[in-house]
Structure 1
């Protein structure tokens, strides 16, 4: 009996040992996912976390410094820089046919020959010489400015279109021509009042085709009488000398 009882105890102990081993294999505590697995799940959207939303930088509004308002632009045709009081560049004239107002400021920096002209005068052939001067020196900054006048012997009786047609067809005139005007007396054109008031060119106009040479600085250089040919050495020399000045 004792022997049988001992054998039964040994069998029960062996069974208990085997059962304990099985429990140790199948009941290990569960562990959370590894760091690598968590990162992968987060990146692919399969994990429990939410991927962070990238932040968008807010642009900083630009601000202009105070007190830097730009000055208004000068009106079209304005003299820039502005003419000084008493300068030729303050004055203007109206073109012969188109009636366009032209500021003498447009000729700042040029050498200009102002001439009172007429279509039926003994000096009228001087148109040819004036055009030759203009053609020769215009590229260097020289200009002839013609002012028709009927003041002397009524030798410019036609309309603006008549004068234009005569000058272009007879002498192929290309230099600027302005409206018919007076050159002496209280009704004289302001430009002629100014020209005659200059120390180097004073006195009333004697006849058609008196010439005033004005330099790049807007000052009268010399006055030439009506009988002086435009292509005379004295006028050509005066023009080229003025053009050579800065």
Structure 2
């Protein structure tokens, strides 16, 4: 509550953002330097991203901090003495608390090649379905999973060599999910081949059978099959219909 009422999350984020980005170890190139500089500016210009970061960070703090944290600051000389007042010590402690989940989330977003595209598309295409979709995916702990990450410090999280310049947020996540179900798709085709009536003379699936299998294997349903809400599937389907058309 104190972050909501007394200390603005946005001000804390602005103060700690560069440190959070420094926890991500990019490759030492001018392109990386320019990318970090751009992120530092553009993140603070994206209300939707700030809102999502705030909601996720506050949830993490609620789950990982205790109610007596103010007493902890007051009774710990290392936390209290470096600052001119108790309120300044509280603010410093809050900043150190908030930046922990933020640094982790930013790394996952960057690893999934989301941040840049999230900012761009949320500012250019302001429609309710898109905004709802972005918030839903962002706040899904299965997508933005930071549980296995070590505690943040400078250069803690190493970026992979391949960094995708994608046109739609979370595309890389969905591509990975689709790829995970390749075995399911191959098993489906194998079952169809067991019926001789589904095959042509060279033992391959006939064109019509294969096309029916493609239409029946709804990758949207596959993506959200594990522990997902039905409304997430419907939301993704509606969004994709808007962007790629109903017949594709």
TM-score between both structures, scaled by the size of structure 1: 0.24
Between 1 and 2, higher relative CO (CA 8 Å, sep ≥ 6) is seen in 2
Higher strand share: 1
Greater helix share, structure number: 2
Tell me the TM-score normalised to structure 2 length. 0.23
